[in-house]
Structure 1
Amino acid sequence: MNVASVSNLPAGAVDLFEREGITELYPPQAEAVEAGVTTGENLVASVPTASGKTFIAQLAMLSAIERGGKALYIVPLRALASEKAEEFQEFESLGITIGVATGNYEDRGEWLAQKDIIVATSEKVDSLIRNDAPWIDDLSCVVSDEVHLIDDPERGPTLEVTLAKLRRLNPAVQSVALSATIDNAEAIAEWLDAALIDTDWRPIELRSGVHYGDALHYDTGDTEKLSVQPNENPTAAIVRDTLQDDGSALVFVNSRRNAETAADRLGETVSSELSVEEQNELSELADEIRSVSDTETSSDLADCVARGTAFHHAGLTSEHRSLIEDAFRDRLIRTVSATPTLAAGVNTPSRRVIIRDWRRYDGSIGGMKPLPVLEVHQMMGRAGRPGRDPYGEAFLLAKNHDELDELFDRYISADPEPVDSKLAAEPALRTHVLSTIASGFVTTRSGLFSFLSETFYASQYADEEHLKSIIQRVLRYLTDNGFLTQSEESLSATSLGHTVSRLYLDPMSAAEIIAGLRSAGSGSISALGLYHLVTRTPDMYELYLRSGDREKYTEIHYQRETELLGPAPSEFDESAFESWLSALKTARMLEDWASELDEDDITERYGIGPGDIRSKVDTTEWLLGAAEELAAELDLSLTTSIRRARRRVEHGVRDELLELVNIRDIGRKRARKLYQAGIETPEDLRTANKATILSALDGREKTTEKILENADRDDPSVDDVQPDDANPADHTMSPELSDTTDNNSTSTKSDDQSHLGDFS
């Protein structure tokens, strides 16, 4: 089927596609058109990566807009939201507007009412429904990308409930679900009342197999010699062979530390294949990476990039990850070593994929566990880019002949696992039951059961009594904590329950915060106490305790016990007390950040990456904002202390710099330099000697003028102004600014927090 034969698209859409070289539809895309994707029919497309799933979604959204509607594209990750929104920008030439919504769970997103296509994470869509976003009712097409993530215990329930709510809000909405190839795609199609396209077709061949000895063993039964040279490991041998064929390689490993080590070791293999021009471009990219973050992780990444390799994991900042992904797509960076984060839908194809580690640590069993088949197939699907690669290849690595056979049986010849709903878990249900009642979706027990009967869980399992028993426990918990009131049949959220739902808090987090704030009474409340309170909620991933940490943080616990909010568990309750100490470790990290300890020192001390710091800071800022609203709701006189602690962690500064960091373009380091030069307030920026200010800002004239303009100085120009060398700012942090630090810290960079946020 050629694209010109597709009807119901906006004027100019076919011309746009043809200019991009899209003249013929792939078989799955043609099948989607025949199934009615451009006439409003529901559709589930279960097809391999790189087989044109996104184009199917585009056809659905464009035809919905042509019918006068609005389209919503739901993604699992914030990074993927930005990527898809950028991809859809091309439709602006057709007069179609694009909006992206990923953060601020209290925002109703009224501005999105003016957009034709809205890209958002499932959590953001859920929050928009809770906050009664007015444009939700106008949706005529909802696309759910990576819908198989309904199987994910963390994100799956939110996606499932969100899709069920959207369908109830607008029964006529077109549902389009995109998935990797899964075992029970027909079950999802049945739930969504959708036609199913289930195929293994790919535009270019994907060959998979296992490397063992000196050969590649393919799924076809063929073998190909690929020798491992002396002092070379199998991964390096495959990468070398790939680069010599002008390809790129993506290596999947099981931890951050392994990703960094593998990238470093592959530098020698890759650098020898680089041209002088590529070396120069990589040197410039390395400088850009160093400028993102002043940490050892950033420096190590830049060193790798200069040699044509990179590592990719959740410990990197979003800026780091974006730079790496773009350079890898452009094949400037030739090899990336990554944790499975990179397999989760982000567009990073390569000629070859090497799955070096097919087991990873699972804390629930205290040991290594094989990866799911679906996850391995997702990694393999990164191999091969249409129009760039003649083929794609993906390999696992075997150490012996028995493992060769095991890997073929476990992964190469195996079908992916079925997708199973994770909704019937109490942590998921307490959140979604409260929001469903608070948003007015249901007002009775029977209404609640009726709504939940429309979920994927209910379509999969006939055990209604099991679900009802869990719901009864959840309702009792929500009532006992003051979030709901209930009679024999009616259900209604209290004012506090409405607030908790609007703030997008797990009710258990809200209960923990409320109990902690009430325990403070009207007394003083420290930043550490507040950081510790929010870090021990279910909405925060704590740093885990390493060897020696239990003794260290037990001592800190007793030293600062009076600052901590709420009763500490008994030391004899090992699990509860260890969780308390893990939260204390996380709180100390946040306190160090808010006391202006250098980012590099924090990453070294706690064994984390710069991305972890920013992730924890963002979550803490959100939870403290919620705590501030809860304190106001309960009429507790703590809002000023909470707001100050929140702003300190937001900006990473001590109290005295809070006024300065309110000025745009003044961060924690510039604020400290200005303060040490005697510039302590915005008023000082408007009146102080310009030479002193210029000196404090390292003589950077453009930066100084921009800051003075932002501070509303009458004449921000520093033309002909010389830095005041007689009164230079002390640009180093004075010892008293590090009063929360521990000079006896034994933290090392090799202490890996790899299980934290790798799938965020």
Structure 2
Amino acid sequence: MRRIRDLRKYGLPDTLLQIWEQQQGQFLLPVQEAAVQRYDLFEGRSLVISSPTSSGKTFVGEMAAMRATFAGKRVLYLTPLRALAEEKFHTFSARYGTYGVKVVVASRDRREFDRDIEHGDFHLAVLVYEKLAQLLVRQPHLLHTVALVVVDELQMLGDPDRGPGLELSLTKLLNSSPRPQLLGLSAVLREAQQVADWLEADLLFQEERPVELYRGVLLGDRFRYRTYNTGEEGEERLATVDTDEPQKMLFANVGHLVKNDEQILIFLKGKRDTVQCALGLAESLGLPPARDALAALEPLEETALKAQLQTAFRGAVAFHHADLTPEERNVVETHYRNGALRVIACTTTLAFGVNLPASTVFLEAVKWDTDPRSGAAIEVPLTWAEYENISGRAGRLGLRETFGRSIVIAANQFQADLLWRAYVMGEQEQFTPAPGQSGFLDRVLNVVASKLCASKEEVQAFFALTYLGFQQRKKTEGLLAEVHKALEALVRGQLITLSEDGRIAATTLGEVAARKGIRAVTAVKLARFFDSAHDREVPELELFYLLSLTEDGKRMYLPLSNAEHRSRVYESKLNEWAQDKGTTTGEELGHVLNARMLPTAQDVRSAKLALLLLAWINGGPLSELETQYQCYAGMIKTQTEEVSWLVDAAAEVAEVMGWPGARRLGEIAECVQFGIDAPGLALARAQLPGIGRDEIRALVAAGFDSVAALREASPEVLSRYLSPSQLAGIRLA
């Protein structure tokens, strides 16, 4: 096995190699050694690596990225999710920032580094998939300045939500001249060779894991498993339980394994299930409290779930799901990694979001999904790919154990046999993108707005280069017909123009839609609204209500119970607001204000979101907003991030339409982002350590509305509003 220090021969400095040895150990793993030696990773050859979770492929991407930056070149690192992008950004910044590497991050609602990326002022840029396609609208030649593009989780090409955006960005990369080196990092993928051929890259395929994984089914006290690497079957005796109830079996076996000093991840289908499981385990396991985790949680803003987290932490257990705030999730992740927390009960979103290893993983073989017709929540089986990804969290390199376990619990022999066949002996589902898939219209607009194509024939030729076009090859009639249909729709929406000689170009409205990443129909709806608004001032609440009714707004999820819907409580609040304001409103809001019939659930959900956002920017404490609007803090913050992006996009649409209040919308976008009203924005933008919404409101009320004002004030005066650690943060800012 090759030592990391041997990489000196590729011109890598000792300082960098020492950083790698501290993080990875002295030796390269097999997949890392193969990428360097057999596939010329450092020589600029494009490569797709298809290997199991924990095989070491992520570090291959890191090595290639740092080799390129050390050579004075720029690198793009693409991830599917914002949470994963943030994790990579913080990891790379901590690891290489002091070394002098400028790391930036960008997602749809993380925009502060956009200008740096567009101007090439970075070494390593971490982006979510769709962000690259948006940036290339404003800067079509961005790829000309980039030497390497690393694509993490390349198997997401088959995901119905994230896949199309990734496919578009990769097709732009293939169409670029000169073409940067591509490094695709994928889980084991049955179409790996086909994807590599499409990307004109070599394929490094490895099926073995550095740490063996036992995947199997637990029935009674017998864990029947099949080893990942060798395919051998075996049986292990775990905790003896006189019951066939899955929860009691789970609790008994978690207790058994924790006594052996193992760390456990438990993947459950529902958020409420994770909380109940964590609280039950905290009480039953009898572990000592995670005192450092409790101390880290204490200063965070009060939320409905914070108290329950504290209870779980007192038993060295945690739960993790999207209703926690980002700060709460960070505390859970940090103190699980350092070993203070022994068990996390989580939803399946954790499997993709962050890198948390475990000795053993328990998982339910079902998840909640949304029925596309009714919008109702339905219980569906995990796909094999989801099972594989979750299972891969067990037995990660660096843990004490020489193997990991992935356990599904069965209540009876019939269920055990079904689970064994479907998952342990199952095969990955094949993915095949289809013409006319969701968002196809928007991708056509993006290509035209990027100035990559100036005619229908060029657009059709571009989409023939996509993975779908590559699969269909000469049978592209359906794809070409969809392109023609999309172009006609874009002309009708005044998003592109078509000249008599067949030349096409994006209008200013079309460019804004593509650059901001909003749907074409959203852009058209906003344009019509601002055109009809003329010089009328649009209140924040009306703006929020309008945005929630756009196609992008409808994709945001805010829970609404039947009781909330039928009580008409939010309609009453809207009418109270309208009476207080005494202003004229647009058609959309007027429709619900004047409704006699019970409005639709979508209308009421939009009203609820608009009222919630107005209370948020007016300084409502999170705990009060949770109670008043019956949703958790994590959900509220997710909505604010999405709406901030939409308001920012609406500001540019308003400017295109000549609406006089366009500049004010840009300010509202920041108010939504920070949860603060306009007078507090200067302090919010400074992002002073430890100073949140409550402190900013108190400081502004006392006359301190800028960093300069804070620095001029005496510590004695500021100590009335801030703690010693917060005062220290101001001095360092």
Same fold, TM-score > 0.5, yes or no: yes
Match of 2:12 in 1: 10
Please state if 1:235 is matched with 2:247.
no
For residues 683 and 72 of structure 2, what CA distance do their matches in structure 1 show? 49
For residues 636 and 672 of structure 1, what CA distance do their matches in structure 2 show? 31
CA shift at 1:85, angstroms? Answer: 3.9
CA contact (8 A) 1:44 1:178 kept: yes
Match of 1:369 in 2: 380
Match of 1:471 in 2: 483
For residues 166 and 132 of structure 2, what CA distance do their matches in structure 1 show? 9
318, 327, 331: which is aligned to 1:323?
Answer: 331
Please state if 1:697 is matched with 2:704.
no
Q: Deviations over 1:230-289 (max 9, x none)?
A: 89712212211211111100000112111111111111234x233xxxx3xx22321322
- Show structure 2 runs of 5+ residues with no match: 227-232
- Show structure 1 runs of 5+ residues with no match: 711-760
3-state SS of 1:368 partner:
strand
508, 512, 520: which is aligned to 1:499?
Answer: 512
558, 582, 586: which is aligned to 1:565?
Answer: 586
Please state if 1:192 is matched with 2:194.
no
Please state if 1:212 is matched with 2:219.
yes
Match of 2:276 in 1: 261
Please state if 1:414 is matched with 2:448.
no
For residues 641 and 83 of structure 1, what CA distance do their matches in structure 2 show? 33
Between 1:333-342 and 1:630-639, the stretch displaced more is 630-639
Q: Deviations over 1:296-350 (max 9, x none)?
A: 1122222212221111112222222222112112221100111112111621110
Please state if 1:283 is matched with 2:276.
no
For residues 415 and 560 of structure 1, what CA distance do their matches in structure 2 show? 56
For residues 345 and 104 of structure 2, what CA distance do their matches in structure 1 show? 29
Match of 2:188 in 1: 181
For residues 398 and 381 of structure 2, what CA distance do their matches in structure 1 show? 34
241, 249, 252: which is aligned to 2:267?
Answer: 252
439, 442, 457: which is aligned to 2:468?
Answer: 457
CA contact (8 A) 1:663 1:707 kept: no
TM-score by length of 2: 0.86
Between 1:35-44 and 1:655-664, the stretch displaced more is 655-664
Match of 1:60 in 2: 64
CA contact (8 A) 2:366 2:379 kept: no
Match of 1:144 in 2: 151
Match of 1:394 in 2: 406
Alignment of 1:8-87 (within 5 A): 8-12=10-14, 17=20, 22-32=25-35, 33-65=37-69, 69-87=73-91
3-state SS of 2:136 partner:
helix
CA contact (8 A) 1:9 1:59 kept: no
**Cα pair distance change 1:16/1:578, threshold 3 Å:** closer
**Cα pair distance change 1:289/1:421, threshold 3 Å:** farther
CA shift at 1:40, angstroms? Answer: 2.2
**Cα pair distance change 1:691/1:495, threshold 3 Å:** closer
CA shift at 1:526, angstroms? Answer: 1.7
For residues 320 and 394 of structure 2, what CA distance do their matches in structure 1 show? 17
CA contact (8 A) 1:285 1:306 kept: no
3-state SS of 1:169 partner:
coil
Q: Deviations over 1:453-505 (max 9, x none)?
A: 11112122344222222222322222222211013631101122222323332
Between 1:329-338 and 1:431-440, the stretch displaced more is 431-440
CA RMSD of aligned residues (A): 3.6
**Cα pair distance change 1:542/1:560, threshold 3 Å:** farther
Match of 1:444 in 2: 455
CA contact (8 A) 2:188 2:207 kept: yes
Match of 2:317 in 1: 309
CA contact (8 A) 1:109 1:133 kept: no
For residues 444 and 173 of structure 2, what CA distance do their matches in structure 1 show? 16
**Cα pair distance change 1:545/1:125, threshold 3 Å:** same
3-state SS of 2:431 partner:
coil
| 1:410 partner amino acid | A
CA contact (8 A) 2:173 2:179 kept: no
Match of 1:352 in 2: 360
CA contact (8 A) 1:483 1:496 kept: yes
**Cα pair distance change 1:528/1:25, threshold 3 Å:** same
CA contact (8 A) 2:92 2:103 kept: no
For residues 485 and 688 of structure 1, what CA distance do their matches in structure 2 show? 56
| 1:28 partner amino acid | V
CA shift at 1:177, angstroms? Answer: 0.8
Between 1:624-633 and 1:185-194, the stretch displaced more is 624-633
| 1:100 partner amino acid | V
TM-score by length of 1: 0.83
Alignment of 1:286-685 (within 5 A): 286-344=294-352, 346-364=354-372, 366=376, 367-388=378-399, 389-421=401-433, 424-425=435-436, 427-462=438-473, 463-487=475-499, 489-540=502-553, 541-551=556-566, 552=568, 553=570, 565-567=586-588, 577-639=600-662, 642-643=665-666, 645-653=668-676, 667-673=692-698, 679=703
CA contact (8 A) 1:664 1:707 kept: no
| 1:565 partner amino acid | G
**Cα pair distance change 1:669/1:11, threshold 3 Å:** closer
Q: Deviations over 1:395-441 (max 9, x none)?
A: 1111222111111111111012123336x445422222222111211
3-state SS of 2:635 partner:
helix
CA contact (8 A) 1:146 1:345 kept: no
Quick one: percent identity of the two aligned structures?
25
3-state SS of 1:257 partner:
helix
Between 1:468-477 and 1:585-594, the stretch displaced more is 468-477
Please state if 1:123 is matched with 2:130.
yes
For residues 213 and 89 of structure 1, what CA distance do their matches in structure 2 show? 47
Match of 2:287 in 1: 273
For residues 203 and 194 of structure 1, what CA distance do their matches in structure 2 show? 25
**Cα pair distance change 1:133/1:284, threshold 3 Å:** farther
CA contact (8 A) 2:48 2:196 kept: yes
3-state SS of 1:233 partner:
helix
| 2:422 partner amino acid | R
Match of 1:732 in 2: none
For residues 100 and 704 of structure 2, what CA distance do their matches in structure 1 show? 48
**Cα pair distance change 1:675/1:495, threshold 3 Å:** closer
CA shift at 1:563, angstroms? Answer: 6.2
**Cα pair distance change 1:689/1:580, threshold 3 Å:** same
3-state SS of 2:362 partner:
strand
For residues 632 and 481 of structure 2, what CA distance do their matches in structure 1 show? 42
CA contact (8 A) 2:509 2:523 kept: no
For residues 223 and 117 of structure 1, what CA distance do their matches in structure 2 show? 46
CA contact (8 A) 1:694 1:701 kept: no
CA shift at 1:689, angstroms? Answer: 10
| 2:651 partner amino acid | E
3-state SS of 2:104 partner:
strand
| 1:139 partner amino acid | V
CA contact (8 A) 2:52 2:392 kept: yes
For residues 159 and 654 of structure 1, what CA distance do their matches in structure 2 show? 36
Q: Tell me how many residue pairs correspond in the alignment.
A: 700
